[in-house]
Chain A
Amino acid sequence: MLQKYISLALMLIFSLAVYAQETKKDVNTLSREEVLEMNIEELSAYDLEEIMKLMDIVGASTVEELYELLLNKDVTSASKSEESLFDSPLSTTVLSHDQIIASGATCFEEALRMVPGVIVREKSNGNFDVHVRGNDNLPSKNMLLYSENSQTLVMINGRTVFNYSHGGTLWESLPVSFEDVDRIEVVRGPSSALYGPNAVSGVINIITVDINKETPLVSGNLKAGSMNSYIGDIAFRKQINDVLAFGITTNYETRDRETDKILVYNGYYDEANDVKKYILDGKRVGTGLYSTEEIKRLQLANPQNDPNSVEPYLNPRNNMEPFMIFPEVGQTGQLNGYDITIYGIDDIFPHPERSKERYAVNGYVELTPNSTTNINISGGYQHSDVLTSTMGDMPTPYSGKVAETGYIDLRANIKDFNFQANYNGGDIDFMTGNEGFELDLRQFNATAEYNLKLDKIAIRPGLNYQNISYDDSPYISTLGRGYLNGKKVIDIMAGSLRLDYKPTDKLRLIAALRTEKYNHPDKFYTSWQFVGSYKINENNIFRLVYSRANQSSFLVNAHSNYTWNLINRPYPRVMQFSGNKEYDLMTTDMFELGYRVRPAKNILIDFEAYYNVSNDFGALMPDYADLYIKNPAQIVQQLLTAQTVTPVVLPDSVHMQYNNLKLKSKQLGASVNVDWVINEKLMANAHFSVQQTKLDNYLGLSRDNTIEMLIGDAQTHTDETNAADTQIGTWAYLIANGLMSIDDIPAQLYYAGSNNFEKNYKNDYEHKSTPSYYGGFSLTYRPIEKLEIMPSSYFYGEQTFENQYGTVKIDSKFIFNTTVAYKATDKLTFRVTGKNLFNQDSQEYAFMDKVPTMVFAGVNFKF
């Protein structure tokens, strides 16, 4: 009987089990709600293929995907191998392609406003100054050249795109555009130990797309906006098979300025008393915006006369014609025995209404012959023509820059061996319309590294060779008219070693060292990074960094040999610029403390505080000046005839030499960045930076101030001035006694010279060219799937820019933008961006254009 019951019970259980089996429903008939109601036990009855279908029915949580996209990015630039951004041992930010597009940025420089610690100022429509953490405009009170950021190394896939002629980055000459780029990685702090010289304040590495099965065949962006701005790029890319992929991209951009007028500055003899320097159509005028037609008529007023006099200053070296600021027609050649080059305004500013035009084409080939080898070959050509801040010294702060270059880059990774070699060559005119500033450029770079991964330590030895040459000889009429006068070369040989040791799960110790040997200066330079990072748990990580980096030699500093015959300025008659091959390279030491925390799964906070000490700044500065008596014959005549004649003693020649300065910069700063995925519809980002820069051994003299000091000192050299007086007396005696004719007296007589003056250095001088605070925020709001509204802002505090021709106060600014995107389909998104909607149109960069409200509309597509 019992057996019977047991059999019955077993049958019942069996049939229940069969029933349960039968309840495993067909995956094709299940609704999302039904799947969500199932527990893991029920789901485990399905096989993998069915589970994948069920997963598709449920869909990944959008918010999970957002965490992945925004809070769990990967980065390669901080350690030269891929790692989680959270674990990065350096201050690092990654901007993804989608973030850049979504922000409505019109170029990479503008997108960098989303990165903490980056200061971005617009000079003219589409042309930007980008500084990492500041230290900008040093040494101050000098040419605008020294306000270019020559301390940040910009790279494309690790290929340096740096201007070794003057230092800095010609952003407009980068061949790539939005569709080329997968992400931009920004590493703040000295990184020469990883990437070589000029990674002093940081590295900006633009990383292009890896072409795979998911890459759209055709994708692109088209945008049109205010001030005749048209920006577009398109990419065709395809993975042919597992081994081969290729891509072609092209881009075009053109933008106008709000005005076609050009600023002529340094327009006062005495600004405090409004004594203007120029004459235009019978009126005294000073610093201001003028059309090129007006500039052609602009004359220099005679400083000796009444402040309101409209009598022009006459040029003794040009047949007593008035000094013209920029004549209608340029002249080159000999004039009255002097070498002269005067370019007409139309040569210097052929398109004063246009701020930027550029186009480029790039090609990519990716080879993956097996799972441990990949070879990337890319090449391209670019042309750019911009109106931006000058690198030279003209009566206007603007000049044109034209670049036409090509590149080829090979990157090979074979197991743990990495090799990269590239060549970049072409022609760059740094100051259009001025003889001597157009150069042929050739840059060759090769790096080989091996990443040996052992149990707890990764060892990365490397070798690097760089050969960079610039040659102005093809573009100058005769030798002596360029600033290099021939081909000049920078050679750098380097060896590096990086040790990445993880003794425990939590502790990571990194030591990176690189030693470089330059041809000029003939010295070894060593840079380093020592990092200790401690991961308390999965959500908290601390790091301490001590690092050093240096600039490379720049050709203008090492090899300048430029004779400037100032035919359109009264004096000095000639200025000679000489380089210094053995100058010490500017170096920065940094101490940094960093902390990253994930207080909740959806929030990432990144904090960094640093102290930088920078030494060995340098500049082309006057090192001696000679005074000449310009009217010796008149003075002799005076002695003979008892007339009253004022001796005209003027600086005749000034020698400018690139020399190191005693200047030392000490910078203390901090940044915080918060990324917060509030929910599926709302995301927020905010970053804020503060800094203070103090200078020791600050002299605060402009070039003209220094010349005045040298002249003042020369006049105290009584042995020389007495000798000149004696010479005048001797000539008077000889002429009075019929032993010499007055016609035999030379046109000028050496009076005195000086190479020294009393220097009153200041310590703890507050350098105000970098804003004391700056930052930005953005909100991304997706009320419905197809619509995205993104208000954003970038702001900075006031700055004081000290230039050789004056001090300019840059007002604090709050730039408010909003981008609205409508995703019509997965393949097509329309986007409208309003830039600077509060119309805070003050200039962001000294002397450059105002920045008004602009509106852009465009589309991005992928098929």
Chain B
Amino acid sequence: MKKKLTVLIMICMSLSLTGQQSMFKALFMFNFAKYIEWPNHSSQNEFIIGVYGHDDIVPELKKLASTKKINNKPIVVKSVKTLSEASNAQLFYIPESKSGNIGEVTSFFKGKSTLIVSEKKGGCAEGSAINYILQGGKMKYEICRGNIESHQLKVDQKLISLGIEVK
């Protein structure tokens, strides 16, 4: 019994370690929204976060969604197979496994008030607003003001100063 318990604890530990990264990404994302201003005319009652495909970030975001709000709106997390399922997302995340599709995503959300977050080397150059990177063993984010403002969003200077600005 003791042995089984040890194994179970070990499994839980390893799961929590691999989940650590996703949890922090979700927390970052939740915080990004605090520094972004969506246009007033947004009449949606919910704050929709779209995630392209399956990714470990989805359960983490759902945990946040169960207790937190963004802009006083309940958070709805949608894991989508096609972009049209999340056409009204305020925030759209492209996980690394889908990073080959940044071009597709940026052209789909062109002109819409959507904050595009990706995880790919040079993701901002391909049109994403915020891009997670690993640098010196630490997770950081690149941010491109032009790509944020082109989606009719306003960004707080603090968010830019905390990240690595890409022009």
Contacts and interface: CB of A to CB of B under 8 A. Distances in A.
Contact of A61 (B17, B64, B68): B17
B30 interface: yes
A740 interface: no
B91 interface: no
Given A371-B166, A455-B107, A58 B30 contact: no
A41 interface: yes
Interface in A197-220: 213-214
B42 interface: no
Nearest to A538: B97
Interface string A65-100: 100100010100000001110010000000000000
Given A44-B27, A455-B107, A83 B100 contact: yes
A60 B21 contact: yes
Interface stretch (A45-53, A461-469, A481-489, A787-795): A45-53
Nearest to A59: B137
A766 interface: no
Contact of B135 (A59, A214, A371, A505): A214
Q: Which 10 A-B pairs have the closest CB atoms?
A: A48-B31, A87-B100, A538-B97, A371-B167, A40-B63, A84-B100, A83-B100, A371-B146, A51-B27, A60-B137
A36 B139 CA distance: 16
24 contacts: A36-B16, A36-B20, A39-B63, A41-B64, A44-B27, A44-B67, A46-B27, A47-B34, A48-B28, A51-B27, A55-B138, A58-B24, A60-B138, A61-B18, A61-B21, A64-B134, A65-B134, A74-B122, A371-B144, A371-B166, A455-B107, A456-B104, A505-B82, A538-B53
Contact of A59 (B122, B125, B138, B167): B138
Contact of B137 (A51, A65, A502): A65
Given A44-B27, A84-B99, A55 B54 contact: no
A59 B139 CA distance: 8
Contacts of B28: 48, 51
Nearest to B99: A84
Given A51-B28, A83-B100, A62 B60 contact: no
A47 B158 CA distance: 12
B116 interface: no
Q: Which interface class (under 10, 10 to 19, 20 to 34, 35 or more) fits A?
A: 35 or more
A123 B36 CA distance: 61
A56 B138 contact: yes
Nearest to A213: B164
A550 B74 CA distance: 61
Interface string B60-74: 100110011000000
A444 to B, nearest CB: 29
A95 B47 CA distance: 42
Q: Most chain-B CB neighbours within 10 Å: which of A56, A74, A84?
A: A84
B154 interface: no
Interface string B105-133: 00110000000000011100110000000
Interface of A: 36, 39-41, 43-44, 46-49, 51-52, 55-56, 58-62, 64-65, 68, 72, 74, 82-84, 87, 213-214, 242, 368, 370-371, 453-456, 458, 502, 505, 538, 601
A499 to B, nearest CB: 15
A40 B31 contact: no
Interface string B69-83: 000000000000110
Given A60-B134, A84-B99, A84-B100, A40 B167 contact: no
A242 B24 contact: no
Nearest to B35: A48
Given A40-B60, A43-B27, 11 more contacts: A44-B67, A48-B28, A51-B27, A58-B20, A60-B134, A60-B138, A64-B18, A82-B126, A84-B100, A371-B166, A453-B107
A650 B35 CA distance: 92
Interface string B131-167: 0001101110000101100000000001100101011
Contacts of A55: 24, 138-139
A182 to B, nearest CB: 11
B48 interface: no
A242 B167 contact: yes
B96 A368 contact: no
A675 to B, nearest CB: 16
Contacts of B49: none
A214 B135 CA distance: 9
Given A48-B35, A456-B104, A74 B146 contact: no
A505 B81 contact: yes
A458 B102 CA distance: 13
Contact of B54 (A72, A371, A538): A538
A46 B81 CA distance: 32
Interface string B18-49: 10110110111011101100000000000000
A601 B122 CA distance: 22
Nearest to B66: A41
Nearest to B28: A51
Contacts of A49: 158, 162
A47 B97 CA distance: 28
A455 B120 CA distance: 20
B149 to A, nearest CB: 11
A455 B109 CA distance: 11
B27 A40 contact: yes
Contacts of B17: 61
A237 to B, nearest CB: 18
Given A41-B63, A371-B146, A538-B53, A48 B137 contact: no
A532 B46 CA distance: 40
